[in-house]
Structure 1
Amino acid sequence: MVSFGMKDLLTLPITIVTGVYTALKFIYHCFLRPLQSGNSQKTRLDQASLFYEGQAGIYDATRGGLLRGRHTMLALSASHLRILRETAANKRLVWVDIGGGTGHNIEFMDDHFPVSSFDAIYIVDICEPLLQVARDRIAKRGWKNVTVLCQDATVFWLPEWLDGIDPRGSVSFVTMSYSITMIPRFHAVLDRVEHVLAHETGLFGVADFYTAEKQESLIDRSIGGLDKGCGWFRRWFWRIFFEFDHIFLGSARRSYLEHRFGTIKSLNGRNHFLVPYLVQIPYYIWLGRSRFRDNYPLDRSLELEYVSQESPGIPVEDVPLTPFHYSITKHWRVPYFLEPTHEKFHSFTRVFTPEDSMELIRHLEVSRDDSVLFVTSAGDSALHLAINSRPKQIHCVDPNPIQGHLLELKLAAIQSLEYEDFFALFGEGKHPTFRSLLDSRIAPYLSAAAYQFWKRDKNNFSSSFYLDGSAGQALAFMRSIFGVAGLSKDVIAFCNSDTLVEQQPIWQRKIRPVMCPTIAFLLRFGWRVFGIPPNQWKMLLKDGDVSAYVRDTLDPLISKYLLKTESHFFHLALTGHYTPQCCPEYLTRAGFERLRTNKGEATDAIRLHTKSMLSALRSLPASSLTHIVLMDHFDSSETRGS
């Protein structure tokens, strides 16, 4: 409970009056005070100064809720910069914040990437009242490497270039936070940024308003990201609304940005400013780098083939590439377009692997010269194979892109997190600061598509992750049945039994009478929830009674394996989480370290294919696979002959 003392009571009227005064001042200068008309450069400078001179002192206090995404953009930028600096540690680290105004972004960034780490930081803006706030902030913080430049962004010139440094490729990092929409000659500014940004190690971060029509092209959808399109009314309303303040939300600005640079990450959002759900201002967060790099690590045939069909005659060098090609770290994900067939998947097929992947690997006898193909599932089999056998290639195939996002997250977390955080995510199934870890640590190792997926849902890993998805909902239903039956404590005792002698009576007297009928009921009426293929279900019904099948499956398991240490799948099904003593091998500290060592060398062989099994097999060279593990995949297919 929040305490409220006499001091707070005395200062409350002052706080209220200050808040009202600030709000009224903001409303007057933004919506009521008349501006000069005209399009000349001098007029625009006068407009900017007039617009902000009366509100410069309250600018930061009144823009926190309106200018969403700045913190996320800077946190993302910081995590990507750390990776890029590993290959450019001997080069100067120069940051140019175009339209930086009050310098508030510099304070934001200091929370994620120390300002002292930069050799030089330049705040470029044409608005003198805001820049004066920045100068005061710099003096107060004692930053010696931050310089304020009152210049036109289209022709900005850094002092160090006067000393003979070539501007081309001399800047490591550029940000534009809610400034592209305020610059009439935005083409010239973005061309200028492309010229000065380092081609191989430079990073460009943007957060801004936007409007856009529905993306018809598969390449545009891949670059622009999920939920980019805006309805016609929203496009019309927000463009007119913001033009009163000389802020232009036309789609050309973002389109040119995505054309001029290669997209690393993009995220589209709606700002529910002041009135939740009623007000939805479109904004986006974007990270990119130069399109004209010296080499591309991935095959470009996907984009080249698509463009040759849709727009024949376009030169190869002008073909836009999807964000997969601009990743700054490992390339586990094979490039793909988000096809209509992918959109039918709204959740995980499986958040855990139901089979014993370690037993499977013991039978495969895979060597380092082999190439193996799996159904992706939750990725446990691929990770265990990387730990124990280190084959030449591990192909994971699933038409559900969300399964690929899950394995990508596991691979990225292995590279970026400490073991304790990794086990909290995938062992306990929850982490209180997952969203912060996603931006500040994990994101550089994720594809743009995977990052968008994990960022969209605010509840990811807030409670047991293993109760998500269709199969997870079945486990949640089972746990609720145990709760209603008053067996929750018995389930805990059952899973913590130290011997089979102690475990067996609890099963026979307490758990079995409730669990077996419940599973039989779920199988009869919710077999699709468990991911059971129709053909397999028909075979089960043909062979005999469902209840007998459940008993014959579970009884031998309970009599032979100790749940506390030997049956991690059953332990997960009953408790909703793993323990360090009972978990898949990749969740043990030893397994985690083997996957992480030498910068994750063991995971370099993994490739994630987001397509059907038949399409994946056709895309691989003839005779390139030594092992194909289909499990029950053919039971799900009506085209087994293919």
Structure 2
Amino acid sequence: MSLSRLLEPPRALYGLVARADASSLYLWIALSAATVLVLLALLWSQLNALLRFAWHCFIRPIGGATDQKARLEQFYAGQADVYDQTRRGLLRGRNTMLGLCAAHLRVIRAANPTRRLVWIDVGGGTGYNIELMHKEFCPIEEFDHVYLIDLCEPLLEVARARFDKLGFKNVTVLCQDASAFVLPEWKDGVLPRGSVGFVTLSYALSMIPSFFTLLDRIDHVLDPRDGLLGVVDFYSSGKAGSLHERAIGGERKECSWLSRWFWLIWFDFDKVYLSQRREYLEHKFGTIKSYNGRNKFVLPFVVRIPYYIWLGRSRSCDVSRFCHAFEVEGGNYIGMHAAPPTLAVDVRAPNSKGAVVRRRPSKTVLDITPPLSAFHYQLKHPYRLPYYESPVHKEFRTFIYSFTWEDPAEDMRHLDLNHDDTMLVITSAGDNALHYAIAAQPKRIHCVDMNPCQAHLLELKLGAVQALSYDDFFALFGYGKHSSFRQLLDQKIAPFLSSTAYQFWRINSRAFSRSFYLRGYSGWALRLARWVFALSGTSAAVKAMCEADTLVEQDTIWRTRIRPVLLNPVVVALLKNPLFCWNALGVPRAQRAMFLAEGSAYEFIRDTFDPIAGHALLKRGAYHYLLCLLGHYTPESCPEYLTRKGFETLRADDGKVLDAFRLHTDSIVKYVPPASPPFFYLLNFGVRSVLRGLPDGELTRAVVMDHLDWFAQGSSDVDEEITQLFRALASGGKVFWRSAAKQPWYAETFAKHGFQVERISVRQGPHKAIDRVNMYASFWSATKPKSG
């Protein structure tokens, strides 16, 4: 670029100035000077605030203060007016905590709209939380009264000025010791039990010396029916989690030794204490939600500050419904398992007339009252049964399947489902289980998967059905992306999720930022397909095939444009690789060996894909391959739960259809040896098999997908599972499965155990598909003969 070109803008400016009169020039200079002064003032304001913050927090010693009140006032007197300005980046999680609380309060208020609601913000300081709640989450007028309690008068002066400016009429500021707070509405200072509906502690619990007394006091006044406590604060945690911590879930809770000791010592200088507070909080109250985060505000590359967000309720609340779902419907127990349960005892369901016969272990080691799991303190449906995290669960970093491969329409032609049926199904992505619920509304659907992330995904779908509009729901799971997923998660979906599922999606909140279906292990296969189509120049042909209006047109595009690309030697070679089969397609070694024993990899791919193009239109219902080719569904071609009709069916009557779901994070039958004595002697959430917990004759249908293909031929585990299936099925009950083999070896095992086995369909070369997916070589059923 020439020098004259570079000088063009200045020359143009000089020309403008030369043509302007003197008054215009003076005005331009004045405006420029004013702008500079404003910028300098803003810069100085921020710099001044930071300097005052640094002086009072890190340099100026706290001396001469004899009690907590004097110490707080001495510390904050010189920085109260800049407190909010300097803490935005340091005190992370306040917005999230308040958003979560507002979402849960909406659910609570929907059930009891006339009940009086009082909010106490303990240690609320400048009133930042109350203003934020009003502006972002819940108008302050929704509360009957709000009390801000703090011991520091300089901070409270800021709060009073803030509320006067906002015109709040139902907010009262109280300068009191939090551990002995008394509301003006309490007569003679007597604490009325259960009189408060909502309490928050925002970075206050760690600063209150008598925290035992404070939490006991909150527990006394918090409404035991549906009172809510929200906390956000710093914390520190060792690597060895307690039984209680494991029972309520604690993703990313462990701190490194450097972080743990550094922040304990650092905060101790400022009289901020991290030990014991959180432990007593979680012991005193039942956990609803828990999230562990890291703040990068200080020393981001060395030791990030650990902080937590926690929501809970009184342990004296009614948990009978969740106990029944956990112990009776889910077949869980508290104790140890030394051998298959043989002792039959009667366990009566709450408010029921009959008794349910349960099989329980003969030895009970520990009876925990009240329940420790966060499952028992949820507000809504008891979908997700708790599990006690074991090493096998940590092996799953994410979900393998973001969608379900089996064709549920073909299932429904043979399942013969009705309202009285109780099913056991493999969770996978939950698409087929949702299809069964929409089509037949069975009494119970037990979804089982050892990978907790698969249950997290289905739980998100169940929660989103109830919390979102159809458009938002389809954006998430139809198009696979939503720009406001974090906001939807915190402010709408969270009350319908378990604590463990919320933690997972909060950590993976970017899952829907671009394309959800390109995530997970199965996402790698979709990415590979995109790369192949792009490199081969067939992307346009792929789109044309997905928009074809006739089977003839669709089949022609497949055979002339796309088939030569997919059925080439490179792709076939990848499918021969066991690592690629597992990591990208979720195909284990044993299953791969099964289809290779009956033919080559090329033949399996050919027999899978060739019939599809002439069997069902991608544009009008063959949504499995439409998703693979486009990376998303369309409203005209998608799973049943994504249609507007299916969506409305699932959410009708406050989600009554969804009450059928029970999500187990467990194996179907095999016990995994516990890793350490606490796992063995206490809560067997993670190692107890689902079938062993179900009573005789409990199930009427079981859909195990291709699960049995995963076992090596002759495995004793398969023999044990089929034995338990026979016991748990009622007379006339049926098991359905698919296999990559035309004649799977374990079909004979079903017959050996008394089942009547039938092969429903089998692939016959590359000419005819057995369903809209055609991914498996055969489809089977096994029926337990009717007694008598």
TM-score scaled by length of structure 1: 0.95
Of the candidates 422, 429, 432, which is equivalent to residue 473 of structure 2?
A: 422
> Is the contact made by 1:219 and 1:320 (CA closer than 8 Å) also made in structure 2?
no
* Superposition pairs of residues 51-70 of structure 1, within 5 angstroms: 51-70=75-94
What are the residue-to-residue correspondences of 1:251-400 with 2, within 5 Å? 252-299=276-323, 304-305=334-335, 316-317=368-369, 319-400=370-451
Measured against aligned partners, the alpha-carbon deviations of 1:188-242 in whole angstroms (never above 9, x if no partner) come to: 0000100010001100000000111123434322325112121222221111111
1:9 positional shift: 4.7
Greater Rg, structure 1 or structure 2? Answer: 2
- Where do 1:435-474 residues align within 5 Å? 435-474=486-525
Q: Which residue of 1 aligns with 2:693?
A: 619
Matched, 1:609 2:636: no
Q: Match of 1:325, as an amino acid?
A: H
Question: Is the 2:258–2:303 contact (alpha carbons within 8 Å) kept by the matching residues of 1?
Answer: no
Q: Which residue of 2 aligns with 1:534?
A: 589
Moved more, 562-571 or 59-68: 562-571
Which deviates further from its counterpart, 26-35 or 223-232?
Answer: 223-232
Q: 1:191 corresponds to which residue?
A: 216
Partner of 1:521: 573
Distance 1:225 1:245, change over 3 A: same
Superposition RMSD in Å: 2.1
Per the TM alignment, residue 276 of structure 1 is displaced from its structure 2 partner at its CA by 2.8
- Indicate how the Cα distance of structure 1 residues 520 and 232 shifts in structure 2: closer, same or farther if over 3 A, else same: same
Query: How far, CA to CA, are the matches of 2:624 and 2:215 in structure 1?
Result: 53
Farther off after superposition, 566-575 or 82-91:
82-91
- Is the CA contact 1:268–1:285 (under 8 Å) kept in the aligned structure 2? yes
| Distance (whole Å) between structure 1 residues aligned to residue 320 and residue 114 of structure 2 | 23
**1:306 to 1:289, Cα distance in 2 relative to 1, 3 A:** farther
SS of the counterpart of 2:312? strand
What is the alpha-carbon distance in structure 2 between the residues aligned to residue 303 and residue 67 of structure 1? 41
Aligned: 1:633 with 2:707: yes
| Residues 166 and 262 (structure 1), Cα distance of their counterparts in 2 relative to 1, 3 Å cut | same
Q: How many residues align?
A: 632
Say whether residues 1:16 and 2:46 are aligned partners: no
Q: Which amino acid aligns with 1:21?
A: N
Pair 217,27 (structure 1): closer, same or farther in 2 beyond 3 Å: closer
Change (3 A) 1:316 1:612: closer
Instruction: Give how far 1:79 is off.
Output: 0.3
- Of 543-552 and 182-191, deviating more is 543-552
User: In structure 2, the residue corresponding to 1:640 is in which secondary structure?
Assistant: helix
Change (3 A) 1:27 1:298: same
* Aligned counterpart, 2:20: none
Q: 1:477 to 1:49 in 2, by over 3 A?
A: same
Contact persistence 2:182–2:189 (CA under 8 A): no
User: Partner residue of 1:236?
Assistant: 261
Distance 1:320 1:388, change over 3 A: closer
Q: Distance in 1 between matches of 2:301 and 2:472?
A: 34
* 1:77 aligned residue: 101
Structure 2 equivalent of residue 173 of structure 1:
198
Q: Contact between 1:88 and 1:201, CA under 8 Å: does it hold in 2?
A: no
- Separation of aligned partners in 1, 2:258 and 2:288: 30
Provide structure 1 residue ranges, at least 5 long, that are not aligned to the other structure. none
SS in 2 for 1:269: strand
Q: Work out the CA distance in 1 between the residues paired with 2:444 and 2:547.
A: 39
**Identity rate of aligned residues, in percent?**
51
Equivalent residue letter for 1:115: I
How far off its partner does 1:92 sit?
1.0
**Code of the aligned partner of 1:18:** S
Change (3 A) 1:475 1:316: closer
1:48-127 equivalences under 5 Å are 48-110=72-134, 111-127=136-152
Q: Which moved more, 1:297-306 or 1:121-130?
A: 297-306
Moved more, 229-238 or 409-418: 229-238
8 A contact 1:352–1:378 mirrored in 2: yes
Secondary structure of the equivalent of 1:581? Answer: coil
In the TM superposition, residue 71 of structure 1 has moved relative to its aligned partner by 0.4
1:552-571 pair list within 5 angstroms: 552-571=607-626
**Counterparts of 1:9 and 1:496, CA distance in 2:** 58
Residue 257 of structure 2 aligns to which amino acid in structure 1?
W
Deviation track 1:85-142 (CA, whole Å, cap 9, x = no partner) reads 1233222110000000000001111110111100100000000000000000000000
- TM-score scaled by structure 2? 0.78
Shift of 1:313: 8.5
Question: Which among 571, 578, 594 is matched to residue 633 of structure 2?
Answer: 578
CA deviation string 1:36-57 (max 9, x = no partner): 256x5xx221111111111010
Task: Give, in angstroms, the shift of residue 166 of structure 1.
Answer: 5.6
CA distance in 2, matches of 1:175, 1:89: 21
Instruction: Give the Cα separation in 1 of the matches to 2:203 and 2:105.
Output: 21
> 1:508 — aligned with what?
559
Compared CA separation, residues 578 and 164, structure 1 to 2 (3 A): same
CA distance in 1, matches of 2:532, 2:647: 35
Indicate if the aligned counterparts of 1:83 and 1:444 stay in contact, CA closer than 8 A: yes
- 1:599 has 2:599 as partner: no
The CA deviation at 1:273 is 1.0
CA contact (8 A) 1:95 1:171 kept: yes
Contact 1:206 1:285 in 2 (8 A): yes
Q: Is the 8 A contact 2:205 2:233 kept in 1?
A: yes
Identify the residue that residue 747 of structure 2 maps to in structure 1.
Answer: none
- Paired residue for 2:645, among 590, 593, 598? 590
1:304, CA displacement in angstroms? 3.8
Give the distance between the partners of 1:47 and 1:135, measured in 2 at CA: 21
Q: Is the 8 A contact 1:594 1:602 kept in 2?
A: yes
Tell me the CA shift for residue 413 of structure 1: 0.4
Query: What is the CA-CA distance between 1:340 and the residue it aligns to?
Result: 1.2
Q: Note the C-alpha offset of 1:635.
A: 1.1
